[in-house]
Amino acid sequence: MSQIKLINIVGARPQFIKASAISRAIKLSSSDTIGEIIVHTGQHYDKEMSDVFFDELEIHQPHYNLGVGSSSHGRQTSMMITGIEEVLLKEKPDCVLLYGDTNSTLAGAIAASKMHFPVVHVEAGLRSFNKTMPEEINRIVSDHASTLLFAPTNAAFKNLMREGFRPENSPRYTIDNPKIYLTGDIMYDNALFYSELAEKKKSAFLESLKVKRNGFVLVTIHREINTDNTRRLEVLMKTLISLAQETSMTFVMPLHPRTILSLKTKLPSLFEDLNKSPFIRIIPPASYLEMILLEKNSRMIITDSGGVQKESHFFRKPCLVLRAETEWVELVKNGTAELVDADPVKIRDGFMKFKNDGSDLTYPSFYGDGKTAEFILNEIIMMFE
């Protein structure tokens, strides 16, 4: 069998992290069988939103960077489709690997499926059942343009079946005869792989923040619904400042550039209050190793991020989710994550509950065995045997 040419399409922070699990697994066991080409759409481009992950996670530098940058959804996605199409025409890959639910995922799915290149979707089947989220549209379209779909949870697998995907399909798999798999989560592979390394390499980072282990709250906010709705952002930040002051706990906030921009331009005096508060520590986006160190050592996590919700579970921390719904429903059912939306009462109640009493919480293994990337690669190889 000749080497399988696989194009990995990435563009946003969580995709670099996810792609690193696949790249590591290829290097470990399949570099004779699979040749990987990395296409970076350029959706994220600041050093701390992009380069830092390639350096820290030892991912091969992108073979192509489309440099699309920030724009409206339609404009950004269309530039990505054009750029990806050109790469696919030139490279003629055996398959195209996509991760998650960003505009880069959507663009890859449209470009590749229309050119009849098989699409492999990692993190398939997740649904929020809220189509006003840009990510929900991206997920649905990407799943229905895919040939191999790797669902990370039972709930995701069931969602795919509800949408007509049939687990009993047999080879040869095509876009009209797709294969769905229930796997674990490749982000769990990473959390296991990097957890100790983060302690070794980044303990100075934690010291520089002057926070006590297990004595601070980690907060991330970046979702469109929370950053672009000024009223919501104001309510969230005011609630968090007042909880921090009331409990004298430090809230560490590595904020996405989008959130900083909204605060600076729409809520400048609140931004000043946040920066002046002795209990709020706004910092630039953290590297992945810094982030998992923060997660491991926090008392509680407050976030609207999908990835950070799961990492709270990997590192056995309770989590308040600043959204009305989540795709990771097993966390909420388990009682270790709570949907508090942007509701000050729910945030406060959830915070006090988790702060005062976390000892009886349990963190069952929902996300596989840490070898999901290897499983995915084996299935890709089998498709070409």
User: How far is residue 382 from each of residues 117, 151, 169, measured CA to CA in Å?
Assistant: 16, 18, 15
5 binding partner (options ligand UD1, ligand UDP, none; Cβ < 5 to 8 Å by kind): none
45 binds ligand UD1 (CB under 6 A): yes
Nearest to 292 by CA among 306, 304, 307: 307
Residue 260 CB, shortest distance to ligand UD1, in Å, is 8
Buried b (16+ CB within 10 A) or exposed e, 246-285: eeebbbbbbbbbbbbebbeebbeebbeebeebebbbbeeb
Q: Is 155 exposed, middle or buried (0-12, 13-18, 19+ CB in 10 A)?
A: middle
**18 is a site residue for ligand UD1 (CB under 6 A):** no
Kindly tell me which of 226 and 239 has the beta carbon lying closer to ligand UD1.
226
Q: What angle do CA 104, 107, 112 make, to 5 degrees?
A: 120
Cα dihedral 141/132/135/79 (nearest 10):
70
Q: Which is nearer to ligand UDP, 139 or 179 (CB)?
A: 139
User: Which residue among 14, 152, 184, 350 contacts ligand UD1 (CB under 6 A)?
Assistant: 14
The site partner of 254 among ligand UD1, ligand UDP, none (C-beta below 5 to 8 Å per kind) is: ligand UDP
Q: Does 134 bind ligand UD1 (CB under 6 A)?
A: yes
Among 7, 10, 13, 160, binds ligand UD1 (CB under 6 A): 13
Handedness of CA 252, 255, 259, 261 (dihedral sign): positive
Contact between 46 and ligand UD1 (CB under 6 A)? yes
Beta strands 337-339 and 300-303, pairing class: unpaired
Note whether 222 binds ligand UD1 by CB under 6 A. Answer: yes
CB 66 within 8 A of CB 84: yes
**From the list ligand UDP, ligand UD1, none, partner contacted by residue 286 (C-beta under 5 to 8 A by kind):** ligand UDP
Between 244 and 322, CB nearer to ligand UD1: 322
Contact between 44 and ligand UD1 by CB under 6 A: the answer reads yes
User: What residues are paired with 210 via a beta bridge?
Assistant: none
Q: Is 222 a catalytic residue?
A: yes
**Minimum distance between the CB of residue 65 and ligand UD1, rounded to whole angstroms?**
13
The set of residues, in sequence order, having a beta carbon less than 8 Å from that of 224 and lying 6+ positions away, is: 133, 134
CB 148 within 8 A of CB 125: no
The item of ligand UD1, ligand UDP, none sharing an interface with residue 49, based on CB under 5 to 8 Å by kind, is ligand UD1
Query: Which residue is it, tokens 């089998």?
Result: 382
340 binds, among ligand UDP, ligand UD1, none (CB under 5 to 8 A by kind): none
- Site residues for ligand UDP per CB under 6 A: 13-14, 17, 220, 222, 254, 285-286, 288, 291, 305-308, 311
Distance in Å, CB of 170 to ligand UD1, minimum:
34
3-state class (DSSP) for residue 333 = helix
- Shortest gap between Cβ of 284 and ligand UD1 (angstroms)? 11
**By CB under 6 A, is residue 55 in contact with ligand UD1?**
no
Is residue 128 part of the contact set for ligand UD1 (CB under 6 A)?
A: no
Residue 13 CB, shortest distance to ligand UD1, in Å, is: 4
> How many whole angstroms separate alpha carbon 297 and alpha carbon 291?
10
Give catalytic residue positions.
222
